[in-house]
Structure 1
Amino acid sequence: MKVPIPALTFDFAGIELNRRQGLSRQLYQTLRERILDGRLSGGTRLPASRDLALSLGISRNSVMRAYDQLYAEGFTESRVGDGTYVALLREKSPAAKKLSTHLSTGLSPGLSTKPLIMAAESSNNVIHSTAMHTLDQHHLRPPKSGLPRAFRTGVPAFDLFPFDTWGKLHAAFWRKPGLQHLGYGDPAGEWRLRELIAAYLRTSRDLRCAPEQIVITNGAQQAITLCAQLLLEQGDVVAIENPGYRAAGHAFGVAGARLQGMAVDDEGMRSPALGDSGCKLAYVTPSHQYPLGVTMSLARRLELLAWAERNQSWIVEDDYDGEYRYSGAPLAPLAALDRSGRVLYVGTFGKVAFPALRLGYLVLPRNLVEPFSRRRAVDMRHSEVGTQMVMAEFIAAGHFQRHIRRMRRAALSRRDALLAGWPQELAGCSPMIKPVAGLHVTVAVDTLERETELVAKAENVGVEVAPLSEYWLPGSETPVDDRAGLVLGFAAVPEADIASALGRLRSAWRV
């Protein structure tokens, strides 16, 4: 049955087209917008393409292309021998009749006439409230972008990366990539890169693992998130260093875990009690605790391993900057002492190469490799093949080890520049200790008020100093003033920039 045609006419007044841009596209967008906001009601007859072209001073082909696109997307319908009309909703149900009434009154069904920006502002209200509450509690601040300043934390000397060498390897791979690399890859990562990582860990960390135990990730953060997703259930307890790496805590919190802050002293994180079976997982940075910089003692390591084995719990070991040790070889990780398959080792290339690389890895107990690979495949199939293959060649050709040695020397030199120029008699602060590892140093401050003052004055002169108080879990029992301190990264900028920043700090702090 034919739907009666309302006596509605098309008004093309106000249609303005920019002749320097695609005319058909502009006309299509204009008509589509008028249909959506109700200015062109259902049943309105559109002018013949020839007439509209003449009225607008454009070619008929431009009008026809716009009409064809509207028809293809269901905004219009064609009636044989009678022209083109704005589509009417067929009345097949009470709901359809109600929507049809909206159309006939000039309102498009279910579409808001509010500006897009207003709809975006209310987006939080349409996400499940429990999920939003969790996200509000465990969100990450946007990382600092752009060129690093002194004394940004978590950033290596990526100004020293051999980009010429990397670029040549990258071009060589993509000039003639093997066809086997162009389909869907192994979600655990490219085999050659996993082989080379296993060999590197055996020689540099005394961590004896097989390539089959390694899963490539998009940086350390994805590795930690995978651990949270697969090892925890809603309400499980996670023991985490306090103060510690808050991004790890956020990953566990978003997975539904309850965070149990563990005190950190000169021997590293205190272990959960041996009989504590209520804790499902412990997250630690034993080689160089973040942010206090202490190394976990052997006694604490053995105690933690005994706890995990007895309670069938997990340990996630984050070796985020293990390459940077300034006396002797890098320390053997906790995973090298594990004999019961309870430790998951997280490694990253971001602290040796540059953070934007987004390349990390997990060394897993053998029984976890398959589920971790399956979970990763659900999220993103696999990591980008070019980066993996170029890194594999970078390691195989010896560039990686040479670069590590260069980065270690540079970090040591930049550390010494910071120590030489630091105002050791700064009021309200303890003297700066000499870090023996890592890319940052922490200075204790007497009160939270003094910490806030020093950080604000540093920011006013363009120097980044992180407040130690932000690394503590909310609700920590430690007195507020005992959480105060300054965290300074010393590897991000050259020695001259460090000296300049220290001069500005002395002036701002009136030392």
Structure 2
Amino acid sequence: MPDSGLSIAFNAAGIELDPKKGLSAQLYQALRQRVLDGRLNSGSRLPASRDLAAALGVSRNSVVRAYDQLYAEGFIEARVGDGTYVAQLPEKALPLKKLSTKLPTGFSTGLCTGLSTKSDKLPVITSSKVIHSPALERVIQHPLSLPEKGAPRAFRVGIPAYDLFPFEVWSKLQAAFWRKPDLRYLCYGDPSGEERLRELIAVYLRTSRGLSCTSEQILITSGAQQGISLCAQLLVEPGRGVAVENPGYRAAGKAFAIAGAHVQGVAVDQEGMDCAALAGLNDCTVAYVTPSHQYPTGVTMSLARRLELLAWAERTQGWIIEDDYDGEYRYSGAPLAPLAALDRQGRVIYVGTFGKVAFPGLRLGYMVLPPSLIEPFAQRRALDMRHSEVSTQVVMAEFMAAGHFQRHIRRMRRAALARRNALLADWPTDIPGLGAAPCVVAGLHLSVPVSSLEREQTLLAQAQQVGVEVNGLSRYWLEDSVEPVDKRAGLVLGFAAVPEADIRAALERLKRAWR
């Protein structure tokens, strides 16, 4: 029988159990942690369950259950006729730092060694040497900033008028699905996505966008970003070049960088990506573009540039990733045919999303793949997440089949146009260093020039003080850009997120702050 003084010392060391919570679970966690962090060494003898129960003021059953769990997991072992001991474990099972807390005066050593702390938290690992993988290091080197939280305010970028989404219709379709779900939908599904949804997307793209494709070419994704990430995973060779628009969508560039690519920025002018500069890049066979409405400048790629870009891909046997994130929004004439509609060599991967028509939280997008990429992309996505969540796919398919989708697009286009006009009508024209707002003919945002980077930062800070969200154009440039700093200055404003009245109110606050 263990010495009773040993049990008293064990109790005094700081195992404090909350009687309002599970006692055996707390004791199990406390003892397990002390084994893992080395405060209970291999071969240390534990008190008998009756003695430990008396020392802690709990029932013996609580101690027995804690010991049983530790036995089951291999942390302790019983020696017949001798007692209970900590099992023989590898000396450095976990890379934890030794605790330096000293025992209070009068505490005995042995079983109590290292038990004087009142905190059961594991030591914090702060050494960067834990990271050994090049892939992990690339993730750390290219952090992605988090989007703004909460309900949208003027002038948040990338948000459609989802206050107009027919949630009542959507909720009825969701309820109908779950009321009596088809059992085949509850099993593992096709990694490419639900077949009916893919068929309807193909029909939509053929009729509304002029993009001839089949349902077999459609791959359902969890938003456009996953489509871009899949391209980075499968088309990028570490160390090889990937061309991105500069300024451009930084999350795309980071996806390629994390995949090991040498990300190279290509300038954007009034006709889109400079294809002559692209042709001059060495060792580059992947290009990412937003031709319908360049992000963030808002320019539309000219037909001549589109043909140049396709010729580059054919000549280099390269790939073009076309991100058509807000292609449904065109306010003069019909939406432009995507770059992929001009592709005759199977070199364009088209990335689309429902997030800019419905709402970003839907996390539903799609890709149109050349025939040669269909199988490998589906296989790669199956390894990532097996397949998409089923109910959202089925409900979206019904939403499209019943005609709600097309009606909603028309409504969203009208709303975005009205909100754009509200922004243009009240845009301040007498603010020092601030340019005029352009009359954009597509998309959900616009870009306004600013005279200098210093002036841009001042305007941004003043906007923040009055509760208005505005992005700086300078944040969209690559860090190694050769353009002068002041040439990168500007403001990027989304105009679709809130109604016209909120837009006018936000502009009034901005005028007062900026003047």
Fold shared, TM-score > 0.5 on shorter chain: yes
Paired residues for 1:65-464 under 5 Å: 65-89=65-89, 116=122, 118-119=124-125, 121-122=126-127, 124-128=128-132, 130-131=134-135, 133-272=137-276, 278-464=283-469
Distance in 2 separating the partners of 1:95 and 1:53: 30
C-alpha offsets along residues 343-362 of structure 1, whole Å, 9 cap, x if unaligned? 11000011111111111111
**Alignment partner of 2:46: what SS?**
coil
2:53 aligned partner? 53
Which amino acid is 1:264 matched to?
V
- Give the C-alpha shift of residue 306 in structure 1: 1.4
Distance in 2 separating the partners of 1:173 and 1:9: 63
**Alignment partner of 1:118: what SS?**
coil
Distance in 2 separating the partners of 1:32 and 1:483: 56
Which amino acid is 2:370 matched to?
P
- Give the C-alpha shift of residue 128 in structure 1: 2.4
2:46–2:111 Cα contact (<8 Å) kept:
no
Q: Which segments of 5 or more consecutive residues in structure 1 lack a partner in the other structure?
A: 97-102
- Give the C-alpha shift of residue 62 in structure 1: 2.1
1:214–1:361 Cα contact (<8 Å) kept:
yes
Distance in 2 separating the partners of 1:241 and 1:281: 12
Q: Aligned pair 1:22/2:22, yes or no?
A: yes
Relative to 1, partners in 2 of residues 1:295 and 1:40: Cα closer, same or farther, differing over 3 Å?
closer
Deviating more after overlay: 408-417 vs 339-348 = 408-417
C-alpha offsets along residues 418-452 of structure 1, whole Å, 9 cap, x if unaligned? 11221022211221111111110111111111111
Distance in 1 separating the partners of 2:401 and 2:375: 27
Q: Which segments of 5 or more consecutive residues in structure 2 lack a partner in the other structure?
A: 94-108
Aligned length: 492
**Alignment partner of 2:381: what SS?**
helix
Distance in 2 separating the partners of 1:61 and 1:85: 19
- Give the C-alpha shift of residue 133 in structure 1: 4.8
- Give the C-alpha shift of residue 277 in structure 1: 7.4
1:468 aligned partner? 473
Which amino acid is 1:178 matched to?
D
**Alignment partner of 1:238: what SS?**
strand
Percent of matched pairs sharing the same residue = 68
Relative to 1, partners in 2 of residues 1:347 and 1:38: Cα closer, same or farther, differing over 3 Å?
closer
Distance in 2 separating the partners of 1:126 and 1:509: 48
Q: Aligned pair 1:12/2:11, yes or no?
A: yes
Q: How large is the RMSD of aligned CA atoms in angstroms?
A: 2.7
- Give the C-alpha shift of residue 59 in structure 1: 3.1
Distance in 1 separating the partners of 2:423 and 2:280: 44
Distance in 2 separating the partners of 1:342 and 1:186: 25
Relative to 1, partners in 2 of residues 1:194 and 1:58: Cα closer, same or farther, differing over 3 Å?
same
Relative to 1, partners in 2 of residues 1:508 and 1:89: Cα closer, same or farther, differing over 3 Å?
closer
Q: TM-score, normalised by structure 2?
A: 0.89
Distance in 2 separating the partners of 1:89 and 1:483: 59
**Alignment partner of 2:220: what SS?**
strand
Deviating more after overlay: 192-201 vs 272-281 = 272-281
Distance in 2 separating the partners of 1:211 and 1:433: 38
Relative to 1, partners in 2 of residues 1:310 and 1:276: Cα closer, same or farther, differing over 3 Å?
farther
Deviating more after overlay: 255-264 vs 131-140 = 131-140
Which amino acid is 2:219 matched to?
V
Relative to 1, partners in 2 of residues 1:190 and 1:68: Cα closer, same or farther, differing over 3 Å?
same
Distance in 2 separating the partners of 1:190 and 1:257: 32
Q: TM-score, normalised by structure 1?
A: 0.89
Distance in 1 separating the partners of 2:34 and 2:122: 15
1:286–1:319 Cα contact (<8 Å) kept:
yes
Which amino acid is 1:61 matched to?
N
